[in-house]
Amino acid sequence: MYETQQNTVREKAVLVAVKLPHDDGWSPDDTLRELALLTETAGADVMDAIVQVRDHPDPATFIGEGKVEEVARRTQELEANLVIFDDDLSPAQARNLERLIDVKIVDRSGLILDIFAHRAQSREAKTQVELAQLEYLLPRLTRQWTHLSRQEGGIGTRGPGETQLEVDRRRVRKRIADLSTRLERIARGREVRRSRRRHEFTTALVGYTNAGKSTLLNALARAGVYTEDKLFATLDPTTRSVRIDGDRKILITDTVGLIRKLPHHLVASFHSTLEVLVEADLLLHVVDASHEKFEEQMKAVTGVLQELGAHTRPLLVVFNKIDRIEEYPDLLARLQSEYPESIFISALRQEGLDGLTRAILRRVESDMEVLTLRVPHADSHLLSEIYDAGEVLDRKDLAEYVSLKVKVKKAEAGKLKKKLRDRGGGKTAQAR
């Protein structure tokens, strides 16, 4: 009901960016270039772009009356029917701008939400996007639905009653509650699935949108994940099993691409999906080495990881698309010097993947611990837990207990030791 509808005629857009003193390192040209790409991804044609330099946003119109007049004049000249701002606008600012410019106004969050709505394919992704859209829409109902000021009539509504706007707000809040409940059920199901494979080493791909995460997953696992040279080509997390050293198997999960100024509502609604980052044994931060603003993109990703509480997870930076900088050997040499612990690959050409798998294998080995455990025969439940928790290397059934040599992740090793101590069911040998 609230999803963005595809227009058969492409809209004509004028872009507006504001340069503030304490911006995030992006120049106005870089900002507008990314905003133009977002606009084209959403299905509109960019007619012009306007930059405003200010010490602080104007409370009423964000850009000030003089700039509003310039935008309105340029919009009329180009016969544009859409103005897109690179920043978020308050409901009052958007309402004032629509009145003064007399075309549809969309801010950065609204634009990104529109793209996500178009890209969402699975039931879960559609639910997450709709929830984010409704959270975004709720305080803006007065602006978007101006016809809703009438009062409903009929039995039971005589007197002051409630306006149609209040009715719609109540319906939106109920829909938000229903979607939140649905996502909670989905999250519980995902948690059950994760608990079943807790003994396996898990790696999650994270990075700026269009950095090549899905291409990398395909290269490592022959996963057949949909890829396209566009922003937010895939929204749904995809997990694949990958063998990196003979029989050594790990799980790799591709996650939704991130972007600067990612709408808070999207981060919140996709939180259950992004929890894989918090629980991963290793994060592979995939970076587009060919992008002029790769460092700023890295900072944007780091900011989202901090917001999710995943910034403390072990992380390996993987510079991708080195095939695009082969003509600039000095640049590659500089990156290798500045990021000596990183891996450099071309996922598209499948170059450098051996070095990546070796680096992952080292992380796997450093995360494993070998224990010799003695478990009473009667404690079959604990025996089952040990088999679920790791790889049993050796078993000896003795008179009083079962002796097991098992390789487990260090986190699982600590849990097993504690359980044995709490139950008084035998000793644990020193980890080898």
The predicted-structure confidence for 207-265, as pLDDT tens digits, reads as follows 998 999 989 998 998 766 655 666 776 677 788 888 887 767 889 998 888 888 888 78
270 and 136 belong to one structural domain: no
- Whether residue 242 lies inside any domain: the answer is yes
Q: How many CA atoms lie within 13 A of 116 on its CB side?
A: 30
310 and 220 belong to one structural domain: yes
- Whether residue 3 lies inside any domain: the answer is no
Bridge partners for 315 per DSSP: 283
210 and 354 belong to one structural domain: yes
pLDDT digits over 67-90, tens only? 999 999 999 999 999 999 999 999
251 and 234 belong to one structural domain: yes
Q: For the domain that residue 409 is a member of, what is the CATH number? A: 3.30.70
- Whether residue 25 lies inside any domain: the answer is yes
Output DSSP code: residue 44. Answer: E
> Which pLDDT score, from 0 to 100, does residue 188 have?
81
Amino acid at site 85: F
For the chain, helix (H) and strand (E) counts, in that order, are 15, 13
- Whether residue 124 lies inside any domain: the answer is yes
pLDDT digits over 171-214, tens only? 889 999 999 999 888 878 777 766 666 678 899 999 998 999 98
Mean pLDDT along residues 298-312: 90
Q: How many CA atoms lie within 13 A of 326 on its CB side?
A: 7
184 and 281 belong to one structural domain: no
188 and 206 belong to one structural domain: no
229 and 333 belong to one structural domain: yes
Q: Phi/psi at 314 (nearest 5 deg)?
A: -55, 135
Q: What is the pTM of this model?
A: 0.80
Task: Say if residue 417's pLDDT is above 90.
Answer: no
Residue 238 belongs to domain spanning = 200-365
Q: Phi/psi at 415 (nearest 5 deg)?
A: -65, -40
- Whether residue 392 lies inside any domain: the answer is yes
Beta 104-106 vs 82-85: how paired, if at all?
Answer: parallel
Q: What's the structural domain count of the chain?
A: 4
Mean pLDDT along residues 17-39: 85
- Whether residue 1 lies inside any domain: the answer is no
